[in-house]
């Protein structure tokens, strides 16, 4: 029952967080100077056009009424209509979310490999040359902004050695081979930027676990070093890295905006930038709320998994 209480409390806390985010988004957009309709249509818009847009955005109603109306529609799945395109926001978001989801899954798969392999090598060879070399490389990559790393990879593999496309443009008619080839550079960029944060945490955690009594007991029982590492040490060492992974998922939401822009990838991040440039208020609200929901859900999953995977935390809770 304690696990269920923990899960219920985390879900409630996540719901309250999203509620505060929705209030903050609404207040920020309300606090922008000038008339919303005039900002969207421009100063040359006719009075009739401004009146129609104000009615469409419910600007003729009090702010509190508009907030609860927008929140209720959002909870029912009605995201509204895009001002820029005149299409339902759900139809606009659908293909972009699918594209970003594919890119994120590709990047996350690469991230697991790029985080686990160097961390294990460092922990097993603690204090040796290979440990120091990987630490230096990780520190250098950690100091690079994501847009700079993306530009460097773009120049290296699309200009200097043109084996990958410079623009990650895909469409509904693209084959799986074309889509994978187009996603390689943005996915590698995202995976590297996430992995450099996790490698150090996982390395230190793994070294600590390898020094523990139960690992030494497993070694005294005659288990092979590989079995001790992967069956006893690694599962317990991964737990501290789960929080870093959750933060990396949060970075994936923000980092994908920049990376998609650099590689012209038609995803969720590019749509968010376009919405900001076009001052598409309903689309901005929807994209920011979805981003916040993904970030909060990632932290919720990481917190629950940390408790489920480590008996000591379950006992303390």
Whole-number Å distance between alpha carbons of 47 and 37: 10
Q: Is residue 16 part of a domain?
A: no
Cα–Cα distance measured from residue 49 to residue 58, given in angstroms and rounded to the nearest whole number: 14
Integer CA distances (angstroms), 104 to 17, 67, 223, 277, in order: 24, 32, 38, 24
Distance CA 141, CA 192 (A): 8
List the chain pLDDT tens, one digit each, 317 residues: 566 777 788 888 889 999 999 999 989 888 877 666 776 777 777 788 878 877 777 777 888 888 998 899 888 888 888 887 888 999 998 888 888 888 988 998 999 899 989 988 988 888 889 989 999 999 899 888 888 998 999 999 988 888 888 888 887 778 888 888 889 999 999 999 888 888 888 888 888 887 777 777 776 777 777 777 777 677 777 777 777 777 777 667 666 888 888 888 888 888 888 888 887 888 999 998 988 888 888 778 777 776 666 555 555 44
Q: Report yes or no: 194 and 107 within 8 Å, Cβ to Cβ.
A: yes
pTM above 0.85, yes or no: no
Residue 290, C-beta contacts closer than 8 angstroms, at least 6 positions apart? 93, 97, 268
Interior angle at CA 230, CA 227 and CA 233, nearest 5? 100
Question: Using alpha carbons only, what angle is made at residue 293 by residues 299 and 54, rounded to the nearest 5 degrees?
Answer: 160
Convert 157-187 to b/e letters by CB count within 10 Å (16 or more is b). Answer: bbeeeeebbeebebeeeeeeeebebbbbbbb
**Is residue 17 domain-resident?**
no
Per-residue model confidence (pLDDT) at position 170: 82
Does residue 190 sit within a domain? yes
pLDDT at 254: 64
pLDDT for the residue 20: 94
Query: Rounded to an integer, what distance in angstroms lies between the CA atom of residue 307 and that of residue 317?
Result: 8
Parent domain of 113: 89-314
Burial pattern 117-152, b for ≥16 Cβ within 10 A else e, equals ebbbbbbbeeeeeebeebeeebeeeeeeebeebbee
Residue at 2 is within a domain? no
With respect to residue 5, please indicate whether it lies within any of the assigned structural domains: no
Distance between CA atoms of residues 272 and 96, nearest Å: 10
Contact criterion met (CB below 8 Å) for 151 and 262: yes
Q: Look at residue 110 in the predicted model and tell me its pLDDT.
A: 93
Please indicate, yes or no, if residue 23 is contained in any of the structural domains. no
> Does a structural domain hold residue 163?
yes
Our count of domains for the chain comes to: 1
CATH code where residue 259 lies: 1.10.3720.10
Per the domain annotation, does 254 fall within a domain?
yes
Predicted confidence at residue 82, as pLDDT, reads: 86
């Amino acid at each position: 029952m304690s696990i269920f209480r923990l899960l219920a409390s985390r879900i409630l806390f996540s719901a309250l967080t999203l509620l505060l985010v929705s209030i903050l988004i609404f207040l920020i957009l309300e606090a922008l100077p000038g008339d919303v309709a005039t900002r969207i249509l421009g100063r040359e818009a006719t009075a009739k056009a401004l009146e129609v847009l104000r009615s469409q955005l419910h600007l003729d109603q009090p702010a509190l009424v508009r907030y609860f109306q927008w929140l209720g529609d959002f909870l029912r799945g009605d995201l509204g209509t895009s001002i820029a395109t005149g299409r339902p926001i759900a139809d606009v978001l659908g293909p972009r979310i699918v594209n970003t989801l594919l890119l994120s899954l590709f990047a996350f798969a690469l991230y697991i490999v790029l985080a686990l392999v160097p961390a294990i090598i460092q922990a097993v060879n603690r204090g040796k040359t290979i440990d120091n070399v990987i630490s230096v490389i990780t520190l250098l990559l950690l100091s690079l902004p994501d847009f700079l790393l993306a530009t460097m990879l773009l120049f290296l593999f699309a200009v200097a050695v043109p084996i990958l496309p410079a623009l990650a443009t895909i469409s509904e008619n693209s084959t799986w081979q074309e889509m994978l080839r187009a996603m390689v550079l943005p996915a590698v960029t995202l995976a590297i930027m996430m992995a450099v944060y996790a490698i150090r945490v996982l390395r230190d955690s793994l070294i600590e676990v390898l020094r523990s009594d139960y690992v030494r007991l497993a070694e005294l029982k005659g288990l092979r070093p590989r079995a001790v590492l992967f069956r006893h040490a690694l599962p317990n060492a991964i737990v501290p890295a789960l929080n870093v992974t959750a933060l990396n998922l949060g970075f994936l939401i923000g980092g994908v905006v920049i990376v998609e822009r650099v590689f012209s990838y038609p995803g969720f991040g590019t749509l968010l930038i376009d919405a900001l440039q076009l001052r598409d208020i309903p689309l901005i609200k929807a994209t920011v709320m979805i981003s916040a929901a993904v970030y909060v859900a990632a932290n919720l999953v990481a917190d629950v998994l940390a408790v489920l995977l480590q008996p000591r935390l379950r006992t303390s809770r």
